[in-house]
Amino acid sequence: MSASQSVNPIDPAEALRLRSDFPVLRQQVHGKPLVYLDNAATTQKPQVVIDRIANYYAHENGTVRRGVYKLSEQSTRDFDASRTKVAQFLNAASPSEIIFTRGTTESINLVAATYGRKFIQAGDHILISAMEHHANLVPWQQLCLEKDAVLQVVPITDAGEMDMDAFDRLLTDRVKLVAVGHVSNALGTVNPIREIIEKAHALDIPVLVDGAQSAPHMSVDLQALDCDFFTFSAHKLYGPTGVGILYGKMKYLEIMPPYQFGGDMIHSVSFEKTVFAKPPAKFEAGTPAIAEVIALATAVDYLSAIGLDRIGVYEHELLAYATAQMLEIPEVRLIGTASHKAGILSFTLKGAHPHDIGTILDREGIAIRAGHHCAQPVMERFGVPATARASFSFYNTREDIDALVKAVRIVVNLFN
C-alpha cells in the first residue's frame, strides 16, 4: 500500500478550515486575496501559536533555570516540556539529545565549530552534496580551509537528484563526516537519506541531516533513520523565529566541546577552572528564547494533530497538480524534476527574470520567492542566475495554484 493510500487525506474543505487558523492569510494584497506560496522560506503562524506567545508575555514571563519563584519555575517546566515534545515529535531517544539554537544555520555552525574543530584533521574529507543550502555548505567549507581538510561534493543529475554512483565513489575511509539536506529548498528533491546514512555508517562515518525542509512536511523518525545529527528551524514549522533544533546522538554530544561559554552551560566555575554541564545545557549558554521555545511546542501539537503523513500526501498532491499545470505553459522550465519531491516548485520563464516574475505575481496577491535561494551552486549547475519558487503548505488549495498559473500566464504574455 502506498503512503497516499494508507492515510486519510486532507480534503479541500479541511484545507480551508485549517487555513482559517492563520489570521495573516485573511488579508488582501494589492486588492487581491493573499495567496501565500513562500512556505519554504517561512511558514505562517496559526492563532494558537500567536496566542501562546501573547499569553506567555501577558501572564507567565519569568526566566528559566535561575529563579526559585513561581513564574520562573513554571517557565522552566514549560521550557523543558517543549524539549520533551520535540524529542517525541522526532522520535529521538532522549530529550537530552535536543539542543535549542537560533535556527538551522546556528545548529550546523554549532556542529562545525565543536565536533568539526575537534575531530576534523588535515587531509580529512567532509562530504556534502551540490544541492546544499549555504547553511550546510559554508560552515564546512570554512572548517576545511581552517583545518586543511577537503570538501568533497556529490554532483547532482539533470533532474536534480544526487548522483548516487558518485556518492559511492566519494564515500571513502578518508571521509570523516557526511552532511546532506533531507529536502532541497531550491529543487524540492527528497534525498535518499536512509541509504546515505546506512552506507556512511558501514564505514563508521557520522551523518548530519539538514532537516529544515523536511521536518515541517513529512514525519521524521530519528531512531529509525539513525542519523547522528539532525536540524530544523521552528519558523519553517509554523512556530516562531529565533529557535532552531539541533539533535545529536548523546555519544557525540558528550565528546563535543561547548559552543559558547557563559551562564547556564556550567556545572561549577572558579577562576582556575570551569566544569561544564552535561548536554543539552552544555550547548545552551545564556538566556534562551523562552517564549519562542514554549510556543514551538504549541506548533508541534498543532501539526501533530493534523498528522505529518497526511500533510505530506496533501502537499504532494498540490505539487503534482501545480507541476501538470505549469508544464502546459511552453515558456516554463522546471528546475528540479526529481522522481521524489516535496512541495517545492522552482521554475524559470523564457524572456522574464525571476525577480520580474516575483514582482508581477506580488501585484496579483501571490507571494513566491525569487532568487538563488541561498543555493548558488544549484543555480550554477542549471545555468540560471535565479529561479522563481512556489512552495506549498497544507493551508494552500488548488485555487491557490490556479491563481499562480493564471499570474504566470500574465508574465508570459508581458514578456513574449
Q: Please list, in sequence order, all residues whose beta carbon lies within 8 angstroms of the beta carbon of residue 30, skipping any fewer than 6 positions away.
A: 362, 363, 364, 365
> By rule CB under 6 A, what count of residues binds ligand C6P?
17
The single residue among 266, 374, 376, 402 that binds ligand C6P, judged by CB under 6 A, is: 374
d(CA 10, CA 16): 10
From residue 227 to residue 266, the character string flagging contacts with ligand C6P as x (rule: CB under 6 A) and all else as - is ------x---------------------------------
Q: Please list, in sequence order, all residues whose beta carbon lies within 8 angstroms of the beta carbon of residue 114, skipping any fewer than 6 positions away.
A: 256, 257, 258, 259, 283
Give the range of 297-305, 330-338, 369-377, 378-386 binding ligand C6P by CB under 6 A.
369-377
Please, which residue, 124 or 381, has the CB nearer to ligand C6P? 381
Please, which residue, 135 or 175, has the CB nearer to ligand C6P? 135
Q: How many CA atoms does the CB half-sphere of 223 hold within 13 Å? A: 9
- Residue 252, CA distances (Å) to 215, 255, 257, 289 in order: 22, 5, 10, 25
The single residue among 36, 78, 92, 103 that binds ligand C6P, judged by CB under 6 A, is: 103
Catalytic residue among 374, 376, 382, 409: 374
227 is known as an active-site residue: no
Which residue carries 501559536 as its cell?
A: 49
Grid coordinates representing 102 are 537560533
What is the closest distance, in whole angstroms, from the C-beta atom of residue 125 to ligand C6P in the complex? 21
The single residue among 39, 75, 96, 105 that binds ligand C6P, judged by CB under 6 A, is: 105
Q: How many CB atoms lie within 10 A of CB 128?
A: 22
The DSSP 8-state label assigned to residue 174 in this structure reads T
The single residue among 207, 212, 218, 300 that binds ligand C6P, judged by CB under 6 A, is: 212
Which residue carries 524539549 as its cell?
A: 83
Would the CA dihedral through 162, 338, 41, 394 be positive or negative? Answer: negative
Q: Does 213 bind ligand C6P (CB under 6 A)?
A: yes
Q: How many CA atoms does the CB half-sphere of 253 hold within 13 Å? A: 24
Would the CA dihedral through 139, 234, 33, 407 be positive or negative? Answer: positive
Please, which residue, 233 or 397, has the CB nearer to ligand C6P? 233
Give the range of 55-63, 103-111, 246-254, 269-277 binding ligand C6P by CB under 6 A.
103-111
Give, as ranges, the residues between 32 and 61 that touch ligand C6P (CB under 6 A).
40-41
Active site residues: 374
**Residues found near ligand C6P in the complex (CB under 6 A):** 40-41, 103-105, 133, 135-136, 181, 185, 210, 212-213, 233, 369, 373-374
